[in-house]
């Protein structure tokens, strides 16, 4: 069975399930999207790594990477290999001293670990054909497709615009200390927008 390479194209709050997030993966050589509902903790862990934010203390997925690296274990790839009753099944393909081992994992954890090892994510045609969403080639924005899954969070942005860069930087430091990475991400985006 040929593997199909995926990449992360979006992560947003889900309206369909309280406290959950929609992780959107895209087919690299195609126009299908694979939305996966994940928990808030895992969404935060993925977002932190994608945004290159450094938490004050290692998160669980960082601990896993540190542990694996210490013992010369490398995660080579993540494979989303099955879908049963709406639940995705994944595995980490790991290597140590030339020996390859597969480790079963929840998809959200596998992706959170995979982004830390900068390894590729794959799935199979059977998964994409049953759970993937085909985008019209003329569609430029994934947000239109997933509007029913996500909700806009513009309220916080409006209140940030009235503050100085110094105030935003102070709030960013507080958010990082308090491990509120969602707020930290919004603050960082606002600071970057003003500095560009």
Q: State pLDDT tens for residues 11-60.
A: 887 666 677 888 999 999 998 999 999 998 999 999 999 989 988 899 99
148 has pLDDT over 60:
no
Predicted confidence at residue 137, as pLDDT, reads: 55
Predicted confidence at residue 155, as pLDDT, reads: 39
**For residue 157, which of 107, 196, 194 has the smallest C-alpha distance?**
194
**% of the chain surpassing 70 pLDDT:** 80
Instruction: Give 125's pLDDT tier (boundaries 50, 70, 90).
Output: very high
Better-predicted residue by pLDDT, 114 or 56: 114
Predicted confidence at residue 133, as pLDDT, reads: 86
Cα-to-chain-centroid distance, residue 62? 14
Largest separation between any pair of C-alpha atoms in the chain = 56
Interacting residues of 182 by C-beta distance below 8 A, sequence separation 6+ = 44, 47
For the chain, give every domain's residue range. Answer: 3-151, 153-196
Interacting residues of 86 by C-beta distance below 8 A, sequence separation 6+ = none
Instruction: Give 141's pLDDT tier (boundaries 50, 70, 90).
Output: very low
Place of tokens 């542990």: 67
Contact of 35 with 8, CB cutoff 8 Å: no
Residue 26's DSSP bridge partners are 7, 33
Better-predicted residue by pLDDT, 194 or 178: 194
Place of tokens 């069975």: 1
Class of domain 3-151: alpha beta
DSSP secondary structure code for residue 71 in this structure: T
Contact of 122 with 80, CB cutoff 8 Å: yes
188 has pLDDT over 60:
yes
Instruction: Give 185's pLDDT tier (boundaries 50, 70, 90).
Output: low
163 has pLDDT over 90:
no
């Amino acid at each position: 069975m040929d593997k199909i390479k995926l990449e992360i194209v979006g992560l947003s709050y889900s309206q369909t399930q309280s406290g959950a997030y929609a992780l959107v993966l895209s087919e690299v050589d195609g126009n299908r999207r694979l939305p996966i509902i994940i928990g808030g903790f895992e969404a935060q862990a993925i977002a932190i790594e994608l945004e290159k934010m450094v938490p004050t203390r290692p998160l669980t997925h960082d601990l896993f990477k540190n542990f694996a690296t210490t013992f010369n274990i490398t995660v080579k790839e993540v494979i989303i290999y099955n879908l049963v009753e709406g639940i995705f099944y994944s595995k980490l393909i790991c290597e140590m001293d030339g020996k390859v081992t597969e480790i079963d994992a929840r998809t959200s954890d596998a992706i959170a670990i995979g982004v830390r090892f900068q390894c590729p994510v794959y799935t199979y045609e059977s998964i994409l054909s049953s759970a993937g969403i085909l985008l019209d080639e003329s569609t430029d924005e994934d947000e239109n497709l997933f509007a029913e899954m996500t909700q806009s969070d513009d309220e916080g942005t409006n209140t940030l615009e009235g503050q100085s860069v110094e105030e935003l930087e102070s709030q960013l430091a507080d958010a990082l200390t308090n491990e509120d990475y969602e707020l930290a991400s919004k603050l960082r985006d606002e600071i970057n927008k003003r500095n560009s």
